[in-house]
Amino acid sequence: MNRTEPLVLGIESSCDETGVGIVRGTRLLANTVSSSMDEHVRFGGVIPEIASRAHLDALVPTLHEALETAGVALEDVDALAVTSGPGLAGALMVGVCGAKALAVATGKPLFAVNHLVAHVGAGLMDDGVYGGALPADLGALLVSGGHTEVLRVRNIAGDVELLGSTIDDAAGEAYDKVARLLGLGYPGGPAIDRIAREGNPRAVRFPRGLTQPKYMGTAEEPGPHRYDWSFSGLKTAVARCVEQFEAAGQEVPVADIAASFQEAVVDVITSKAVLACREQGIRNLLLGGGVAANSRLRELTRARCGSAGISLAVPEFSLCTDNGAMVAALAARVIMDGGEPSDLDFAPESSLPVTAVTV
């Protein structure tokens, strides 16, 4: 196996995107994604069974398109990679079984990698935010429909530490639920971001979860949730606010509520992420995940990182959302660092911890 510039094909199927990406070392050759989002719109959220069936339909065509885009044949590939978790169990199963079948049929080694760490791997490509080499003191803020975490990355191939995470809803999940309450449809993130520009973010003072002293503690004596988030109470507060306007027979000020909700989310996310970076000596922060497309999150993260002397990097949007290129990039780094392939008896794990870079 070529460990200097391995040609790696990565498969991603953790939620509603079927992604196949191909990299040669740190150079991106193909990033092909097929999304089933439109099939979930009428349900107001991702339906696991529908997502799994969509992966079954999309995997082979997406694979062929990626190979054609990269200008390589399957036999040219040095190694295969696949997301083994975390994610939706059925969706993961489709990608893992497809990758195992390819590995058996071609005799290629297979690397099962962590979906969350792969989001950080999006910064590994030559034309990406870090030019192929991640900084030594790197943190990662991952904000998506299923995850909200802040990580310390000492070595992306094997040393990743979870500093904080949501203890209930992920930020993107909260956006979807609040958008439904406001009649804005699915997906909620883009809809709320768009209408929030017309509203007053100070119209309603919504709660910032886990910011009370008993949860925060101090730098010397940290509380139990110093770097953690909670969004379920915020969602409930929005529901009560809407009910009050409706009960009074008044028109619901959708734009003001959306703007106030969004401000509450991005305020607490950015303040805690920057706090974690400052106290942990992290000078470089990568913002990733689908919610990284949110304009207010980008704006406030950039401003607060700038004030704290922290360098912020945000990959292009196609590499922030779930994709196979980030999976291939992470596996390529593992290979170049001397990592060994996975045994084919591994199983997908929907709650795979972020500290398990490979399986």
Which segments are annotated as binding site for Fe cation?
115, 119, 322
Output the DSSP codes for 169-238: S-HHHHHHHHHHHTT--SSHHHHHHHHHTTS-TTSS----TT-SHHHHB-SSSB-TTTT-B--HHHHHHH
Contact 333, 156 (CB under 8 A): yes
CA nearest 77: which of 108, 45, 43?
108
* CA separation for the pair 314, 154 (Å, rounded): 19
Q: Name residue 24's beta-bridge partners.
A: 7, 27
* CA separation for the pair 327, 311 (Å, rounded): 24
Number of residues assigned to the chain: 359
* H/E segment holding residue 44: none
Which residues participate in the annotated binding site? 115, 119, 142-146, 176, 189, 193, 294, 322
Q: What is the DSSP letter of 42?
A: G
Which residues participate in the annotated binding site for substrate? 142-146, 176, 189, 193, 294
Contact 113, 23 (CB under 8 A): no
* CA separation for the pair 352, 346 (Å, rounded): 12
Helix intervals (H) in 230-294: 232-247, 254-280
Q: Backbone dihedral region of 62: left (phi > 0), alpha (psi from -120 to 50 degrees) or beta? A: alpha
Orientation angle between helical segments 254-280 and 171-181, nearest 10 degrees = 170
Amino acid at 297: L
The count of other CB atoms within 10 Å of the CB of residue 159 is 11
